[in-house]
Amino acid sequence: MSHAIHSNAALTPQHRLRMARVVVEAGWSIARAAEFYNVSWRTAKKWAERYRAEGPAGMYDQSSARRTQARKTPQPVLRKIVHLRIKQRLGPVEIAHRLGMAASTVHAVLVRCGLNRLAHLDRVTGEPIRRYEHDKPGALLHVDVKKLGRVPDGGGWRYVGKQQGFKNARTKNNTGKRGTCYLHTVIDDHSRVAYVEAHDDEKKETATAVLRRAVAWFDARGVNIERVLSDNGSAYRSHYWREACEELGITHKRTRPYRPQTNGKIERFHRTLAEGWAFKKFYSSESARLAALPSWIHEYNHHRPHSAIGRATPITRLNNLAGHHS
């Protein structure tokens, strides 16, 4: 049986054996042996004790690998962890307390099962959200409306403080309007290209007109729209909307009630829109903020790398001029 010798060992096994024997059998002190063999007192003591316990065989380096493997979590316990996570949305500490085990073990199980982030679980069913992506531009459009409070003249409370902000809000904007701005948003599922229009309402006539213009916008870029997915808002349940979809040759799909995750791509875009444009900096008025919207949308579509599509820019996935998706 061959024995590996540590590359940085101060002594060979033969020298260790000689040193250990002069201590154990010849009666040398540890200090004397250490000085004679030019090693530390600790090293001389280690090999002398190893010789007493194991004899000459103990003079070889031993593997640093664990002699026992970590015991796997039993399947019944694993199922209990997953059940508590999915059905009750408990964290590792709470689950560990209920099952009488270490929180680190519970966390390791959740990571292994892909359940370590609650954002990955459907809020209604508790099941892991299944990610999907249509294979070509135009296969599915996501539509929704993002509501934002209008910026009053002089700026909103986020930047000028609540007292001044509320005072500004009591006066009419330059446009003569107060209240809510409705951003009608359209997202292509495959490319993540966004089309956005700002309006004063979310009525069926407005939503339908936005859809028609969005379809024309995509058509001008070589993309044929096949389906559109919306929530169950009144505008999208109207005959007006249904007839427009039939006229455009688009199949309309609606999300299941109380499950906004189905339209998650547009929900995520709305967060990006709010952080990157709506509330990113100080705007002195609503008109100033709306004036900045087109350039931000262009930046998003043409220049901003998108993590969900491999850090590519959305517009690079929209190009169908070569007929790759036809």
pLDDT in tens, 130-148: 556 777 999 999 999 999 9
Query: Partners of 230 in the beta sheet?
Result: 254
CA 312, distance to chain mean position in Å, is: 17
Q: Is 195 exposed, middle or buried (0-12, 13-18, 19+ CB in 10 A)?
A: buried
Tell me the per-residue pLDDT of 35-78, one tens digit each, with 9 for 90 and over: 888 888 999 999 999 998 888 888 887 766 555 555 678 888 88
Task: Say what the pLDDT of residue 172 is.
Answer: 52
Domain boundaries, the chain: 13-59, 75-120, 141-318
**Tokens of residue 7, six digits:** 């590359």
- Considering the chain, what percentage of its residues have pLDDT values greater than 70? 77
Q: Which long-range contacts (CB under 8 A, 24 or more apart) does 55-60 make?
A: 56/17, 59/13, 59/14, 59/16, 59/17, 59/20, 60/3, 60/4, 60/5, 60/13
**Tokens of residue 83, six digits:** 């059940």
- The architecture (CATH level 2) of 141-318 comes to 2-Layer Sandwich (3.30)
Tell me the per-residue pLDDT of 186-209, one tens digit each, with 9 for 90 and over: 999 999 999 999 999 999 999 999
Query: Partners of 14 in the beta sheet?
Result: none
Residue 177 in this model has a pLDDT that exceeds 70: no
Could you tell me the CA-to-CA distances from 49 to 45, 53, 59, 69, 264 in Å, in that order? 6, 6, 10, 27, 66
**Tokens of residue 241, six digits:** 């909307």
Query: What's the CA gap between 80 and 86, in Å, rounded?
Result: 10
- What DSSP string describes 117-151? -GGGB-TTT-SBPPP---SSTTS-EEEEEEEEEPP
Query: What's the CA gap between 259 and 267, in Å, rounded?
Result: 12
Task: Say what the pLDDT of residue 114 is.
Answer: 77
Tell me the per-residue pLDDT of 68-99, one tens digit each, with 9 for 90 and over: 555 678 888 888 898 888 778 888 899 999 89
Burial 128-151 (b: 16+ CB within 10 A, else e): eeeeeeeebbbbbbbbbbbebebb
pLDDT band at 212 (very low <50, low <70, confident <90, very high): very high
**Tokens of residue 192, six digits:** 């993540």
CB 278, CB 288: distance < 8 Å: no
> Which of the residue ranges 102-106, 262-266, 320-324 would you say has the lowest mean pLDDT?
320-324
**Tokens of residue 296, six digits:** 């931000």
